[in-house]
Structure 1
Amino acid sequence: MTAPLVTILDDEPEIRSMLADALEDAGFRTMGFGRATEFEAALKSTTPDVCLVDLGLPDKDGLTLVHRLALEQGASVIIISGRAQVQDRITGLELGADDYIIKPFDPTEVVARVRARLRKDRPVAQTSSNTARFNGWTAFFDRYVLEDDSGAETTFSHAEGEVLRLFLESPKRLISRSHMQETLGGAAGESFDRAMDVRISRLRTKLKEDPKNPRLIKTIYGAGYIFLGDVSWG
């Protein structure tokens, strides 16, 4: 079996080298890039399993690149950045990143986060289908698209798709925060809770839910969430 490929996009050669050494010692393949244009050119012929992306790039805005990766590539994206403000982390997660690591960091933590993403990606679903229908909506997980009953389409990110698929595979059952963390991967705690809050809020918006009284994704305070739709796959 081919080892998973992790791409490293950071303009600091020392950081690229440090991450590559740690990841390769852990059994991963790596490719490093110092500029966004080089990375984007490589994506035309390469499909990484996880993308590590620094936000402070010399030639392009890192957040814009993260958003495009999440929507167009369906890639798992981990931001690595010196921007430690809460708003930066929230923005990165809202734009589709799966995780956010603040510099300076321990390379072993990055390896652990990458492994968590891959563990989550492996057993993606109980069903092999990539199409689900529910309450006038159709979700196409191969294209990252939601289609309403009029045929209008709305894209969703890889990270939002993980949460939506988890709900659609377990309708009308309580899904606890701890179960979400175990299934989707990532470090437990405030950052994971914030990521879930952001993704669920964005899904509700895309499903045209009333934020004060959502019909489909119900919050059970202190316990988790329940998806109340009727779902069919295939």
Structure 2
Amino acid sequence: MSEPLVTILDDEPEIRQMLGEVLTEAGFRTQSFARAREFEAALKHVTPDVCLVDLSLPDTDGLALVHRLALEQGASVIIISGRAQVQDRVAGLELGADDYITKPFDPAEVVARIRARLRSNRATPKAGNTARFNGWTAHFERYTLENATGDETTFSHAEAEVLRLFLDSPKRLISRAQMQESLGGAAGESFDRAMDVRISRLRTKLGEDPKNPRLIKTIYGAGYIFLGDVSWS
């Protein structure tokens, strides 16, 4: 099995060089890009395991690129950005990023976050690619939710991980600690916020009443429970 491929998109040559050296030493293959145009052209020929993406790019909107990666590529995306404001972090997570690291950063933390993403991607045995529950069908091979009338809406790779966790364990309490262990990422406020964002977006796509959701219930102080009846194929 070849080493995991990590792509680095950042317009600062020092950042690209430093990350490339650290990740190569850690056992990863890397490809680095200074422009989004070059990066997206390369994606037609390679499938990275993790994409590191800076938001402040000279030739495109970084957040829009993250959204395309999450929805169209199904890629694991870690944002590395100098934008440390809460609204930027929230926007990145809402648009499908799996994690968010602010500059300046410790290179060892980047390696640890990447390894956590890869563990998460491999952790849960896949029972199937299609799940049916309460009038909904989740197509994980193409990242879409289909309702009873056949209308579809897309979900991101990050949202897929959370939904899959619920569908693999229906009617069982899933604590925040269990989510962190299964999905990876650093425990703490950043992880909790990421989960809140993804669950909120899933509830919206499932047509849930935010004040009284029927499928994804919050058990305050304990975690979440998915109340649907699930079948896989």
Structure 2 counterpart of 1:24, which letter? T
3-state SS of paired residue (1:51)? strand
Structure 1 counterpart of 2:176, which letter? R
Report deviation, 1:199: 0.1
Task: Tell me the distance in 1 between the aligned counterparts of 2:231 and 2:26.
Answer: 40
Report deviation, 1:231: 0.2
Task: Tell me the distance in 1 between the aligned counterparts of 2:39 and 2:67.
Answer: 15
Report deviation, 1:197: 0.1
Q: Which residue of 2 aligns with 1:70?
A: 70
Report deviation, 1:126: 4.7
Q: How does 1:27-176 map to 2 (within 5 A)?
A: 27-127=27-127, 129-176=128-175
Instruction: With the length of structure 2 as denominator, give the TM-score of the two structures.
Output: 0.99
Tell me: CA distance 1:46–1:126, structure 2 relative to 1, closer, same or farther (3 Å): closer
Q: Which residue of 2 aligns with 1:228?
A: 227
Task: Tell me the distance in 2 between the aligned counterparts of 1:117 and 1:145.
Answer: 22
Q: How does 1:194-233 map to 2 (within 5 A)?
A: 194-233=193-232
Task: Tell me the distance in 2 between the aligned counterparts of 1:137 and 1:123.
Answer: 25
Q: Which residue of 1 aligns with 2:183?
A: 184
Q: Which residue of 2 aligns with 1:16?
A: 16
Q: CA-to-partner distance for each residue in 1:154-209, whole Å, 9 max, x for gaps?
A: 00000000000000000000000000000000000000000000000000000000
Percent sequence identity over matched residues? Answer: 81
User: Which contiguous aligned blocks of 4+ residues in structure 1 show a shift greater than 6 angstroms?
Assistant: none
Task: Tell me the distance in 1 between the aligned counterparts of 2:126 and 2:55.
Answer: 35
3-state SS of paired residue (2:131)? strand
Q: CA-to-partner distance for each residue in 1:19-76, whole Å, 9 max, x for gaps?
A: 0100000000000000000000000000000000000000000000000000000000
Structure 2 counterpart of 1:165, which letter? R
Instruction: With the length of structure 1 as denominator, give the TM-score of the two structures.
Output: 0.99
Unpaired segments of 5 or more residues in structure 2?
none
Tell me: CA distance 1:110–1:182, structure 2 relative to 1, closer, same or farther (3 Å): same
Count of paired positions: 233
Q: CA-to-partner distance for each residue in 1:192-229, whole Å, 9 max, x for gaps?
A: 00000000000000000000000000000000000000
Task: Tell me the distance in 1 between the aligned counterparts of 2:182 and 2:123.
Answer: 9
Task: Tell me the distance in 2 between the aligned counterparts of 1:40 and 1:188.
Answer: 31
Report deviation, 1:123: 2.2
Q: CA-to-partner distance for each residue in 1:107-137, whole Å, 9 max, x for gaps?
A: 111001000000000123351x100000000
